[in-house]
A = this chain, B = another copy of it.
Amino acid sequence: MKTDKTSKYVLVLAEKAKEASRKLSLVSGTERGAVLLKMAEAILSKQDFIARENEKDLKEAKKKNYAKALVERLVLNEKRIKEMAESLREISRLSDPLGKVLENYKRPNGLSINKVSVPIGVIGIIYESRPNVTSDCVGLCLKSGNAVILKGGKEALFSNKAIFGVLRDALKGTGIPEDAIQLIPSSDRKGLEEMLKLVDLVDLIVPRGGESLIKFVADNSRIPVVKHYKGICHVYVSDKADVKMAEEICFNSKVQRPGVCNAMETMLVHKNIADSFMPSMIKRFIASGVELRGCALTRKLFKEIKKKATEQDWYEEYLDLILSVKIVDSTDEAIGHINKYSSHHSDSIVTEDKNEAQKFLDSVDSACVYWNASTRFTDGYQFGLGAEVGISTDKLHVRGPMGLEGLTTYKYEIYGTGQVRT
């Protein structure tokens, strides 16, 4: 699409989404849930069509010699299509986040003030190569009464269009207008750029992808963005830690799944516990292929660690089997290091001392702060939210894992009997 045409196209599509969001906000929770089940059925009954369209993306990917990992994310086999349907069913079963009375009180003049949860309006979701995100996000947005505008990766364009078409067809004859779900079908960033300008039509942007995508979105829009750029997570092993527990928590935080945002990137160790804790820990990390980078004292005390952790390392999200290690003099030093270098995502202390733990929990300025647990628990499902729309390291609207509630806002409905202000 050319620029002017794209611009007009995206504007019209967003206007339709806004209009549809007004109607959608009045649809009952029961009906929203039922529509999601209908969509799950549609996905299953059209699985051959979806798989065929997916083949086109895979063919293109091979032609362009995409990386194996990317191609792997693109694939929609029978199992994955079934999972898409199952995911819609799960979202359908979640409790309705709308119409909750958050506060309700009467003023001395008799005005009755009700603060109730309502949809945000129109959500823009930007994602990369996984086509199943298309149906997940449609499910989450409709369940929470929001219209959605989808912009997926160009590698998955055939698959996304196919899934989107099936879901949109499923809206026919329901109380939810078809225009409540929209997809920008452009294969470049032009359509995205246009959407990012529509401050009056799009209420929230949720980018699901890597740091560069998120930065691009946040830098190019005045629409609020739920985001986390990085997960630079720490585990601090206090001198009052249970050594065995500390080893399990550190190992799990780093090794269980190193490529995700809630994995540990830096381990902080109190100097007084280094002797008893480090030798076995180092051995275990090395045996699992973890590259260790140490501060000066770490390298002096433990010769097995040869590589230096530079200033830059403390800011690094490795997303890999690499760990920077620092020995500290005190809990205060650990807290100071974390508040300076952390991405304010997830940080943990291992200690048997309750007062020290509480001080750490209160002082570390991060979305999720743990006492005696792995940082890997920061996740919508692990938190029992039933879904994960995203994770936020911002402080406003949502902080930490974002469930359906993060797709709602509130309004005040005020009931009077003729009150005027004197």
Contact = CB atoms under 8 A, between A and B. Distances in A.
Given A224-B396, A373-B111, A410-B399, A22 B419 contact: no
Given A362-B26, A420-B256, A421-B382, A372 B413 contact: no
A386 to B, nearest CB: 13
A82 to B, nearest CB: 24
Interface stretch (A132-140, A242-250, A294-302): A242-250
Contact of A222 (B203, B218, B245, B383): B218
A409 B399 contact: yes
Contact of A249 (B369, B382, B418): B418
Contacts of A249: 418, 420
A228 interface: no
B383 A113 contact: yes
A121 B421 contact: no
Interface in A315-370: 339, 361-363, 365-370
A contact patch SS: mixed
A414 interface: yes
A219 B399 CA distance: 24
19 contacts: A107-B383, A113-B384, A120-B395, A121-B365, A203-B395, A204-B396, A248-B418, A249-B418, A249-B420, A252-B420, A256-B420, A367-B412, A369-B412, A371-B415, A371-B416, A373-B417, A373-B420, A374-B420, A399-B411
Interface of A: 22, 25-26, 105, 107, 111, 113, 120-121, 203-204, 218-219, 222, 224, 242, 245, 248-249, 251-253, 256, 339, 361-363, 365-374, 376-377, 382-384, 394-397, 399-400, 409-422
List 4 A-B pairs, minimum CB-CB distance, nearest first: A373-B416, A252-B420, A376-B421, A396-B397
